Amino acid sequence: MKEYKPPQKSFLYYCGIVLLVMLLLNAFVFPQLFTARVEEVQYGEFLQMVDEGRVSQVEVDEHEIVFADTATPTGYYKTGRMEDPGLARQLYEAGITQYGTPIVQQVSPLASMLISWVLPLLLFMLLGRVLMSSLAKRAGGGAGNFMSFGKSNAKVYVQSTDGIRFADVAGEDEAKELLTEIVDFLHNPKKYAEIGARIPRGALLVGPPGTGKTLLAKAVAGEANVPFFSMSGSEFVEMFVGMGAAKVRDLFKQANEKAPCIVFIDEIDTIGKKRDGAGGIGGNDEREQTLNQLLTEMDGFDGTKGVILLAATNRPESLDPALLRPGRFDRRIPVELPDLQGREEILKVHAKKVKIGPNVEFGPIARAAAGASGAELANMINEAALRAVRDGRKAVTQNDLMESVEVVIAGYQKKNKILSNKEKLIVSYHEIGHALVAALQEGSAPVSKITIIPRTSGALGYTMQVEKEEQNLMSKAQIENKIATLTGGRVAEDLVFHSVTTGASNDIEQATKLARSMVTRFGMSDFGMMALETVSNAYLGGDASLACSPETAALVDKKVEEVIRTQYQKAEQLLAGHMRELHALAKHLYEHETITGEEFMQLMEHPPLLGEGAAE
Ligand code: ADP
Ligand code: MG
Ligand code: ZN
């Protein structure tokens, strides 16, 4: 992509400023340049000089008389004017006939105006400008140049050979299909006009972070072969009220001139947040003005001309409803987290950029990376390549990829051992507790790996479960099983050591979240199908907030506690009935630090007999 940049201030511009300053200095410090030297003499002396014939020219005005000396043509004299009726006669006799016209060519009127008016004005402007730009820079205000407000710095992306195309965006087939229509319209607007189909004016790409929204928009630019104006919402937010609005105006002006074209506003939620009308002091005003300007411009432009608006956001619920009205961003393009097939495709797209060894299968990697976004998958490939380089290999192996999935999910392995043996043993039992509870229940995802190698993320160990198939729906029983599995770690610690540790904090958090959702959102308690929570930021982790009376809230808390307690007891029963397996597997994990899924199944089915006291 090529970027269009506004031209820099020319060298001449700075020369001009320097020249001005020099002129000004001259005017004040060396006034002779502009005004001739005039020497003051006594009136008597003047008369005497007239008599002696030394005066060539005389200028008489209201208060003074200026005259020139024949001997020194550049020097002038002046004297005060007296009520002297004889002067005219005396001058006439001396042969001086001209005495009305000014003789001293002082500064020309133009030059004098320049000096007295224009120059100070320019100086002030210059000063103001320097001040403003240094102010703007200190405040970190993007442009840094005050005078350039009103000019937007919208970047124009023009299609180029190294541009991103739809082929670079894996998965996201629905989104691509919808965008293809827009591209097609830009290529061939007549086809649509003939049938009378109206292409939507604006399309809003919504989805969680890292799913390829920005990438898709760039791909549209690559495919469409029309000018592409791209700007991020945060670039509109300026220090001065009105500048954001000016940028919007300018962006659309540019776009109208270049139609057909695409205007893309990334992270539109920065300017498109709901207006609350309160408009506190400063701050909000600017954002609202910018948004209002955007709405006005969207209504203003001619849809048939072929200016198409694209925008991306990961908080669609916070957008002002006015933006989503028909005729504005009336088409919503969901860009969701990739499914199993999508993940595999994304891995393959990014794998093209690195050397992949033979026999590498992406299927299992994609399965293990359930829930990962496109950006995370791209990161995994890169991590795998880095790992291969670190280990001095020429190509990426299956193992590198698998390890990189764990790195992205759980953080890097911590090299220096920080666990004491006692801690290691506790962690072993904790993790086997999770794995055993999962394996002993129907319908849990199979365990694929258990490890007690600490991660930089803070996890001391973890149990990886990979679903056999992509799962979109969860039954009540499955959620309950999952909660039981989460409590399994703590249960094992309690059963074996009769004391509990802080290691279960993350499990507790997850279990509580699941149990609460069961009660408040999934209608899986005796509250029935009653929504007790509203979820905001669906794409950013989903913050839930209670939407019920305080009395109900207290009941909800009680229900949540009940659900977790029931599952804890279930896990306790399961593990208590399989102590032999628990001891055997924990010992194995303690010794080997990692157990694969197959090893785990084998040991579970044929646990070796261990003597008493294996735990210590
Ligand atoms: P978003 O704007 O949705 O937050 P981006 O478009 O910035 O996400 O994606 C970040 C990076 O992740 C991209 O540059 C690309 O390398 C990778 N990526 C995300 N989704 C995909 C996808 N569907 N196909 C290929 N790469 C992807
Ligand atoms: Mg983005
Ligand atoms: Zn745990």
Write the DSSP string, 421-470. Answer: HHHHHHHHHHHHHHHHHHHHSTTPPPEEEEE---BTTS-S-EEEE--SS-
Q: Which atom of ligand 1 is nearest to the CA of 172?
A: 23
Identify the pLDDT of residue 616: 39
Average pLDDT rounded to a whole number, residues 16-33 = 65
Ligand closest to Cα of 433 equals 3
Q: Clarify whether 376 is annotated catalytic.
A: no
Distance 170 CA to ligand 1 centre (A): 9
Q: Which atom of ligand 1 is nearest to the CA of 215?
A: 6
For residue 466, is pLDDT > 60? yes
Strands (E) in 24-143, as ranges, are 38-40, 55-60, 64-69, 76-80
Which residue is catalytic, options 431, 493, 533, 572? 431
Q: Which atom of ligand 1 is nearest to the CA of 208?
A: 3
List residues, by chain if needed, whose CB lies under 5 Å from ion ligand 3.
Answer: 489, 507
114 pLDDT tier (thresholds 50, 70, 90): confident
Q: What is the pLDDT of residues 308-358, one digit of tens each?
A: 889 999 888 888 888 888 778 878 898 988 888 899 999 999 999 999 998
**CA–CA gap between residue 243 and residue 233 (Å, rounded):** 13
Identify the pLDDT of residue 156: 58
Q: Which atom of ligand 1 is nearest to the CA of 376?
A: 12
**CA–CA gap between residue 596 and residue 585 (Å, rounded):** 12
Distance 141 CA to ligand 3 centre (A): 46
Distance 214 CA to ligand 1 centre (A): 7
Distance 171 CA to ligand 1 centre (A): 11
Average pLDDT, the chain: 80
For residue 375, is pLDDT > 80? yes
Q: Which atom of ligand 1 is nearest to the CA of 205?
A: 3
Percent of the chain with pLDDT over 90: 25
Identify the pLDDT of residue 10: 58
Strands 307-313 and 462-465: unpaired
Ligand closest to Cα of 375 equals 1
For residue 597, is pLDDT > 80? yes
pTM of the predicted protein model = 0.65
Length of the chain as a residue count = 616
Q: Which atom of ligand 1 is nearest to the CA of 168?
A: 25
Q: How far apart are the first and last CA of the chain?
A: 64
Residues 6+ apart with CB under 8 A from 584: 603, 607, 608, 610, 614
List, in sequence order, every residue forming a beta bridge with 65; answer none if it has no partner. 60, 79
Strands (E) in 226-367, as ranges, are 228-232, 261-266, 307-313, 331-334
Ligand 1 cavity residues, CB under 6 Å: 169-172, 209-215, 312, 346, 349, 374-375, 378
Distance 463 CA to ligand 3 centre (A): 8
For residue 418, is pLDDT > 70? no
Which among 480, 488, 477 is positioned nearest to 574, based on CA atoms?
A: 488
Identify the pLDDT of residue 147: 45
Contact predicate 377/338, CB 8 Å: yes
**Tokens in use for 298?**
């969207």
List, in sequence order, every residue forming a beta bridge with 39; answer none if it has no partner. 77
Q: Which of 211, 267, 335, 343 to mutate to test the pocket of ligand 1 (most atoms within 8 A of CB)?
A: 211
Distance 164 CA to ligand 1 centre (A): 11
Which among 373, 309, 368, 375 is positioned nearest to 336, based on CA atoms?
A: 373
Grouping H, G, I as helix, E, B as strand and the rest as coil, residue 245 is helix
Q: What is the pLDDT of residues 538-568, one digit of tens each?
A: 777 777 788 888 889 999 999 999 999 999 9
Ligand closest to Cα of 429 equals 3
Contact predicate 462/431, CB 8 Å: yes
614 pLDDT tier (thresholds 50, 70, 90): very low
Q: What is the pLDDT of residues 470-484, one digit of tens each?
A: 777 889 999 999 999
Q: What is the pLDDT of residues 227-240, one digit of tens each?
A: 888 888 888 776 66
**CA–CA gap between residue 467 and residue 487 (Å, rounded):** 19
Percent of the chain with pLDDT over 70: 81
Q: Whose CA is nearest to atom 15 of ligand 1?
A: 375
Identify the pLDDT of residue 479: 93
Distance 537 CA to ligand 2 centre (A): 16
Average pLDDT rounded to a whole number, residues 280-285 = 57
Q: Whose CA is nearest to atom 27 of ligand 1?
A: 374
List residues, by chain if needed, whose CB lies under 5 Å from ion ligand 2.
Answer: 214
Grouping H, G, I as helix, E, B as strand and the rest as coil, residue 400 is helix
Q: Whose CA is nearest to atom 14 of ligand 1?
A: 215
Q: Whose CA is nearest to atom 5 of ligand 1?
A: 212
Identify the pLDDT of residue 222: 82
Identify the pLDDT of residue 288: 81
Ligand closest to Cα of 372 equals 1
Q: What is the pLDDT of residues 61-106, one digit of tens each?
A: 777 888 877 776 666 788 887 777 777 777 777 777 766 666 655 5
For residue 306, is pLDDT > 70? yes
Distance 233 CA to ligand 1 centre (A): 18
**CA–CA gap between residue 529 and residue 209 (Å, rounded):** 31
Contact predicate 289/244, CB 8 Å: yes
Q: What is the pLDDT of residues 117-169, one digit of tens each?
A: 777 788 888 888 877 776 655 544 444 444 444 455 555 555 444 578 888 89
Q: What is the pLDDT of residues 28-67, one digit of tens each?
A: 655 544 556 677 888 888 888 888 877 777 877 777 888 8
Q: Whose CA is nearest to atom 6 of ligand 1?
A: 212
Q: Which of 215, 315, 362 to mutate to test the pocket of ligand 1 (most atoms within 8 A of CB)?
A: 215
Burial of 485 (0-12, 13-18, 19+ CB in 10 A): buried
Ligand closest to Cα of 215 equals 1
Q: What is the pLDDT of residues 188-242, one digit of tens each?
A: 878 887 888 777 778 899 988 999 998 998 888 888 878 888 888 888 776 666 7
Q: Whose CA is nearest to atom 17 of ligand 1?
A: 375
414 pLDDT tier (thresholds 50, 70, 90): low
Average pLDDT rounded to a whole number, residues 251-268 = 85
**Tokens in use for 307?**
């200016």
